[in-house]
């Protein structure tokens, strides 16, 4: 009789434990969507392991620690948090931004040379707003290079449906309500230009990293982000953007 009881007890504890953890910690670090060496030689495995397993993990751990102190934080989705960031202290901005930015970043990338091309709709928008894919890439790289210190380069859909390139400092992003209105929008592509993203392989050569990074961009994902951003626009803006 004892062994079945113990088995059930252990089973009950195993089933209960993850729920207790999830209840205590509203934000979670998802595993990388590919092995850490998948992006080599563009981004090396060691950089990916440290970047995801230590830097991103620290943002999640810190955000969970803040959520334990700030009850309304724990009730927000990560996306809604970005859009209401002005309500919260700077530590939440840094860690909440860091968590969203890195989730977005890992899922934009794929094995070198397998990322395909922009969809017809995205390619047409890039042609309309930048004069072509190469011109867009040059402007994006320039935004990354011009960011002094740490931050991100972004390709966004503006509220009027146009594409634009912006750069934000630290772990800010264009979703945040505290970013200047002229630089706000829905990101469809973003690159991390903190030194921790490239220093092991590229040292101080941020420009080389920005140029090589296009090899791992998953254009299927970027195109899907574009479609979703356009679908969420006000109908009048979506109609204008289609012209």
Q: Determine the size of the site formed for Mn ion (CB under 5 A).
A: 2
CB of 18 to Mn ion, least distance (A): 27
Is residue 103 involved in binding Mn ion (CB under 5 A)? no
Specify the length of the chain in residues.
243
CB of 55 to Mn ion, least distance (A): 5
Angstrom distance (rounded) from CA 180 to CA 15: 46
| b/e burial code for range 46-62 (CB count within 10 A of at least 16 → b) | ebbeebbeeebeebbeb
Nearer to Mn ion by Cβ, of 192 and 218: the residue is: 192
Instruction: Compose the 181-210 pattern: x for residues touching Mn ion by CB under 5 A, - for all others.
Output: -----------x-x----------------
Angstrom distance (rounded) from CA 217 to CA 199: 19
Nearer to Mn ion by Cβ, of 198 and 226: the residue is: 198
The closest alpha carbon to 235, from 161, 157, 125, belongs to 161
Nearer to Mn ion by Cβ, of 51 and 221: the residue is: 51
Nearer to Mn ion by Cβ, of 48 and 76: the residue is: 48
Residues within the interface to Mn ion (CB under 5 A): 192, 194
């Amino acid at each position: 009789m004892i062994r079945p009881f113990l088995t059930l007890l252990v089973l009950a504890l195993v089933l209960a434990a993850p729920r207790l953890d999830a209840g205590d910690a509203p934000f979670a670090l998802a595993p990388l969507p590919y092995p850490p060496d998948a992006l080599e030689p563009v981004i090396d495995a060691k950089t990916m392991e440290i970047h995801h397993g230590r830097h991103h993990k620290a943002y999640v751990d810190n955000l969970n620690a803040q959520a334990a102190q700030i009850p309304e934080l724990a009730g927000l989705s990560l996306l809604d948090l970005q859009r209401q960031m002005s309500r919260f202290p700077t530590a939440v901005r840094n860690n909440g931004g860091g968590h969203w930015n890195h989730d977005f970043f890992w899922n934009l990338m794929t094995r070198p040379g397998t990322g395909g091309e922009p969809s017809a709709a995205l390619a047409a928008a890039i042609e309309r707003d930048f004069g072509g894919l190469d011109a867009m890439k040059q402007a994006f790289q320039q935004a990354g290079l011009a960011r002094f210190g740490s931050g991100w380069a972004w390709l966004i859909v503006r509220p009027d449906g146009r594409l634009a390139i912006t750069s934000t400092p630290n772990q800010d992003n264009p979703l945040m309500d505290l970013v200047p209105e002229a630089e706000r929008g829905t990101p469809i592509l973003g690159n991390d230009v903190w030194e921790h993203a490239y220093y092991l392989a590229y040292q101080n050569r941020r420009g080389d990293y920005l140029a090589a990074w296009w090899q791992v961009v998953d254009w299927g994902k970027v195109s899907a982000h574009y479609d979703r951003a356009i679908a969420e626009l006000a109908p009048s803006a979506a109609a204008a953007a289609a012209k």
